[in-house]
Copies of this chain bind each other. A is one copy, B any other.
Amino acid sequence: MSSAATRPAGPDHLWSVDEHLEDILETVRPLEPIELQLLDAQGCVLVEDVTVPVSLPPFDNSSMDGYAVRIADVAGASEEFPAVLEVVGDVAAGAADLVRVGPGQAARIMTGAPLPPGAEAVVPVEWTDGGLGEGPVSGMRARSLAPEGAEGHVRVHRPAEARAHVRAKGSDVKAGDRALEAGTVLGPPQIALLAAIGRGTVRVRPRPRVVVLSTGSELVQPGEELARGQIYDSNSFALTAAARDAGAIAYRVGAVVDDAETLRATIEDQLVRADLLVTTGGVSVGAYDVVKEALSHVGDEDEAGGGVEFRKLAMQPGKPQGFGSVGPDHTPLLALPGNPVSSYVSFELFVRPAIRALMGLTDVNRPRARATLKADKALRSPKGRRQFLRGTYGDGEVAPVGGSGSHLIAALAHADALIVVPEDVESVDPGAEVEVVLLG
């Protein structure tokens, strides 16, 4: 990685959490945009300024079910002295050929239907006798059941001002207006607007495809039998789910045995569908740390940007981490430690921001808050390490759940926040203010 290469960082350099994240975010570039169908673009970042091609509404139209009339004809109308108008036909929504409303005439009109020529306002059907010759009505009878409603006479009981109940052409947006700016994240209301102005497709950065591999010869697929010395693979499930939560299309490859050749072959095989690779396990100082072994020498030295660098971070859990790129397209790879809590915390701190950076989002980090520590005893934290403890957050308070051990999955499953203890703090007393990462 070029940025890593320019740092004064030998193998014994202890990276801070911020330095590691900064290196990742300096390296990971947003994915190239593609044109997607509207609904496929949900949650994605728009890369173009979208201009309105046609005004909305595209024509003057009725905001009510009622009658399109001329103002003069209904001036002074009341229930006692109604204006009696000749009904010259229906104007339904979508109508192309419109009746003309002349003096003394009205057209029955539906919500959204174009205001017919000659008409100046709409009176709601509730202000009329609906053509039935009796008192005010609460609605129209269905055209299919009572076609005669489109003819005859209607009594109008109230006057209308010019343009009453008419939505003017362009009153929502006008042709040439900026509908949405590049950088907008497309949620349902933005999709509504794009559809309304006629955009069937839109140019966005796609969701990144994230391939998740766990490593370890001790790992067994959940649902199978455990033999002696084995445990269940949980990381590949947790991180696949977390990658989806972050907005990615995630593929769980599952557990790979501790053999460098097998791991290299698996990664090479997966590259075709990966915008980002995430591995867990095998990054520490052991003799069977296969990720480190397999990937430390993968980069072609003649090729810029290749290779994975393994680092020690000043954090707990999550000290050993790898970051770099693999394959001909320099696909970014994050190698996380294998303890379940370590891998999950590392995901939240480093992989989630990387996924969101690939999506082109500017807001890549989890929200944080200040909270009062609610605990029976002081929290202990090793000096020189930024510690991330699991906690539950609410009403400005955070309570730790479980201990600091990186194997405590049950506590993690009951937490909704990470309590951050800075590098220079070795003890936090109950009642003290702490920073928390909200896991949402």
Contacts and interface: CB of A to CB of B under 8 A. Distances in A.
Nearest to A343: B192
A105 interface: no
B242 A415 contact: no
A110 B286 contact: yes
A408 interface: yes
Given A139-B286, A172-B411, A191-B234, 4 more contacts: A65-B285, A112-B338, A140-B286, A200-B224
A237 interface: yes
A226 B54 contact: yes
Kindly name the residue among A39, A112, A339, A405 whose own CB sees the greatest number of chain B CB atoms within 10 A.
A112
Nearest to A227: B96
B245 A142 contact: no
Nearest to A413: B193
13 contacts: A56-B231, A57-B407, A65-B287, A98-B229, A112-B216, A140-B285, A140-B287, A142-B292, A172-B407, A191-B241, A192-B237, A192-B344, A195-B222
A192 B409 contact: yes
A99 interface: no
A375 interface: no
A36 interface: no
Interface of A: 11-12, 38-39, 42, 54, 56-59, 63, 65, 90, 92-96, 98, 108, 110-114, 125-126, 138-146, 149-150, 167, 171-173, 177, 179-180, 187-201, 216-224, 226-235, 237-242, 244-245, 252, 258, 260, 284-289, 292-293, 338-340, 344, 405-413, 415, 439
Contact of A405 (B144, B171, B180, B235): B171
B223 A198 contact: yes
Contacts of A188: 238-239, 241-242, 245, 344
A247 B157 CA distance: 48
Kindly name the residue among A149, A177, A197 whose own CB sees the greatest number of chain B CB atoms within 10 A.
A197
A308 B95 CA distance: 28
A413 B190 contact: yes
Given A93-B216, A96-B227, A288-B93, A111 B339 contact: yes
A216 to B, nearest CB: 6
Contacts of A252: 39
A193 B200 CA distance: 42
B222 A65 contact: no
